[in-house]
Amino acid sequence: MKKFRDTYLKKLHIGNLTTDSNVFMAPLAGYTCYPFRRMCRKLGAGLAFTEMVSANGLKYNDKATAKLLYTDADEDPKAVQLLGCVPSAFEAACKGAYTADYAVVDINMGCPVPNIIKNGEGCALTGDLPLASRIIEACKRSGKIVTVKFRPGMNRNQITVAEFARMCEDSGADMITVHGRTRNMMYDGEPIYEYIAAAKNAVTIPVIANGGIDSEEAAVRMMEQTGADGVMIARYGLENPMIFAELTGRQTGETRLSLLLEQCGIAAACFDELAALDYLKKLASYFMKKLPGTKKLKPALYQCGSIRQMQDILIRIFGETEE
**Residues recognised as catalytic:** 111
Main-chain phi, psi angles of 129, to 5 degrees:
-60, -40
Distances (CA, A) of 292 to 25, 272, 287, 295: 26, 32, 12, 8
Amino acid in the structure at residue 199: A
Q: What share of the chain is helix, strand, coil (3-state, %, to 5)?
A: 50, 15, 35
* Residue whose C-alpha is closest to residue 35's, from 278, 250, 243, 279: 279
Note every long-range contact of 32-35, with CB atoms under 8 Å and residues 24 or more positions apart, other chains counting: 33/68, 33/70, 33/270, 33/279, 34/70, 34/71, 34/72, 34/75, 34/266, 34/270, 35/263, 35/266, 35/267, 35/270, 35/279
- Tell me if 169 sits within 8 A of 204, measured CB to CB: yes
- Tell me if 44 sits within 8 A of 79, measured CB to CB: no
Pair type for strands 23-25 and 17-19 = unpaired
Beta strands in the chain (DSSP E): 12-14, 17-19, 23-25, 47-54, 79-83, 104-109, 145-150, 175-179, 207-210, 230-233
Q: For the chain, first and last CA: distance in Å?
A: 22
Strand partners, 47: 24
